[in-house]
Chains A and B, each alone.
Chain A
Amino acid sequence: MNLRQFLARSLVVFTMLGAGTAQAEKVTIAAAADLKFAMDEIVAHFREENPRDEIEVIYGSSGKFHTQIQQGAPYDLYFSADIGFAQELVKAGHAASPVIPYAVGRIVLWSPSMDASKMTLESLADPKIARIAIANPKHAPYGKRAEEALRATRLWDKVERKLVYGENIAHTAQFVQTGNAQVGIIALSLALNPALADKGGYWLIPDNLHEPLEQGFIITKRAAGNATAKRFADYMNRKAARATMTRYGFVLPGESTGR
């Protein structure tokens, strides 16, 4: 086979591969790390109902995904823990949908070694607690809210030298889970998942101490004609998906915060 034949055949194969993926309408979701467990469940249910749709979820920090989508990352849906990131992408023309609010997150004190349900933020000043993990307030939405709550209670100056910063909220939870930090301020949605919930306990931080953690998602521009992406976006508003979100401690749009 000479080079020209080889190239011609390769071209045929690639074209077929390309056609194949277009038909299946594979969807890649970039989701904030606080959604890890809730989204896994929702996607599992969605797959049961739509067995032919291919869905892949990547979890990480909302800020990083925001940057990556601006640079043309192949994500079809973007679930941001900070609705502001999603709004910026819409403004910059990277979205094929308006911003759809999907939840309001809550932050909790959590510890696997101490009963955090009997603690308050003031307990963090206790000298027995040497390390406190929070997400990096510079770019992680949950970290920003943790800082606000610590400042609102005038604890920031007392605890700042004990703080260690996780790259995103799941990374922060991992610092606490391994015992390297005794306490962490993490997402309620993570504290409620079985792997963390069976150890220690959590204390819900009053949501009047920080700005709301409004979260929103968009369908990205590259998925404009993607029927699967559209189906999944609609599915988020269905009863089953909403029930899962509620079970993981998210307050849903249009519901009271229960303050």
Chain B
Amino acid sequence: MFLTDADLQSIWLTARLAGITTLILFVVGTPVAWWLARTRSPWKGPIGAVVALPLVLPPSVLGFYLLLAMGPNGPVGQMTQALGLGTLPFTFWGLVVASVFYSFPFMVQPLQNAFEAIGERPLEVAATLRASPLDAFFSVALPLAKPGFVTAGILTFAHTVGEFGVVLMIGGNIPGVTRVASVQIYDHVEALEYMDAHRLAGVMLVFSFLVLLALYAWRPNGRK
């Protein structure tokens, strides 16, 4: 067998984490991107900056805040405990929450660019044809922004796959729950199992290359 069961488990877990994170961010990120693309509010700058923060912040800052906030004495932890959900660190859903923050700009920014590129005109035309704003969004804006959605989806998925520092800080390295591929590779290296590290690292390298290749292959066709 090329990869061990533990390696396969970590890859499957990583794919599930990245997939769920991407789906959630499609739902959460789209309205934010739409608002940022069309608003003239003075809040556009500050909100845009907050959205972009994870691009700049070290993962250790995000991991540190999340560990304290989601812990039993933190505000989020108090809330999840009151709801009978327990605390989020060391759980799969804790990683999902962390990844949603971590990958937020990778969803919002490509979508925002795509929405801005549409401009006012197609929506005004839709309005004169008596489309409601919601209808115009779904039948005009969404199809026109499709390349943006593909880019945003691929980037979000890939960026979540590449997550390491945050997972290490709040994951607790539990097999099948929080031990994603990047952490598994780290463990192999720490345990001096270089051959195992090589195999999994090679898989990640090929995967990442293919994702980016797909992204660049898509782009020229998507943008006219």
Q: Contact partner of B89 among A64, A138, A180, CB < 8 A?
A: A180
Question: Are A180 and B90 closer than 8 Å at their CB atoms?
Answer: yes
CA distance A6 to B191 in the complex (A): 47
Q: Which B residues are CB-close (under 8 A) to A167?
A: 168, 173, 190
Q: Does A236 contact B (CB under 8 A)?
A: no
Q: Which A residues are CB-close (under 8 A) to B191?
A: 63, 138-139
Question: Are B192 and A63 closer than 8 Å at their CB atoms?
Answer: yes
Q: Tell whether A179 pairs with B71 under 8 Å between CB atoms, given A61-B190, A67-B190, A138-B187.
A: yes
Q: Which A residues are CB-close (under 8 A) to B172?
A: 131, 133, 164-166, 175, 180-181
Interface size on B, residues (CB 8 A): 19
CA distance A181 to B90 in the complex (A): 9
Question: Are B174 and A178 closer than 8 Å at their CB atoms?
Answer: no
Question: Are B73 and A179 closer than 8 Å at their CB atoms?
Answer: yes
Q: Which A residues are CB-close (under 8 A) to B67?
A: 178, 180
Q: Does A163 contact B (CB under 8 A)?
A: yes
Q: Does B22 contact A (CB under 8 A)?
A: no
Question: Are B72 and A163 closer than 8 Å at their CB atoms?
Answer: no
CA distance A140 to B28 in the complex (A): 40
Q: Which B residues are CB-close (under 8 A) to A80?
A: none
CA distance A165 to B68 in the complex (A): 17
Question: Are A180 and B173 closer than 8 Å at their CB atoms?
Answer: no
CA distance A64 to B87 in the complex (A): 30
Question: Are A178 and B71 closer than 8 Å at their CB atoms?
Answer: yes
Q: Does A130 contact B (CB under 8 A)?
A: yes
Q: How large is the interface on A (under 10, 10 to 19, 20 to 34, 35 or more residues)?
A: 20 to 34
Q: Does B214 contact A (CB under 8 A)?
A: no
- For A175, the closest partner residue in chain B by CB is B172
Residue from B67, B68, B89, B90 with most neighbouring chain A CB atoms (10 Å): B90
Question: Are A66 and B192 closer than 8 Å at their CB atoms?
Answer: yes
Q: Contact partner of A139 among B70, B90, B190, CB < 8 A?
A: B190
Q: Does A136 contact B (CB under 8 A)?
A: yes
Q: Which B residues are CB-close (under 8 A) to A139?
A: 187, 190-192
Q: Contact partner of B173 among A63, A66, A164, A179, CB < 8 A?
A: A164
CB distance from B168 to the nearest CB of A (A): 6
CB distance from B166 to the nearest CB of A (A): 13
Q: Does B86 contact A (CB under 8 A)?
A: yes
Q: Which A residues are CB-close (under 8 A) to B68?
A: 178
Interface residues of B in 131-175 (CB under 8 A from A): 168, 172-174
CB distance from A136 to the nearest CB of B (A): 6
Question: Are B90 and A164 closer than 8 Å at their CB atoms?
Answer: yes
One digit per residue, 1 when the CB lies within 8 angstroms of any chain A CB and 0 when it does not, for chain B 194-224 equals 0000000000000000000000000000000
Q: Does B189 contact A (CB under 8 A)?
A: yes
One digit per residue, 1 when the CB lies within 8 angstroms of any chain B CB and 0 when it does not, for chain A 104-146 equals 0000000000000000000000000011010010110000000
15 pairs, CB–CB < 8 Å, chain A vs chain B: A61-B190, A63-B190, A63-B191, A63-B192, A64-B190, A67-B192, A136-B187, A136-B190, A138-B191, A164-B90, A164-B173, A165-B172, A167-B168, A178-B71, A181-B90
Interface of B with A (CB < 8 Å)?
67-68, 70-73, 86-87, 89-90, 168, 172-174, 187, 189-192
Leading 4 A-B pairs by shortest Cβ distance: A164-B172, A165-B173, A139-B190, A139-B191
Interface of A with B (CB < 8 Å)?
61, 63-64, 66-67, 130-131, 133, 136, 138-139, 163-167, 175, 178-181
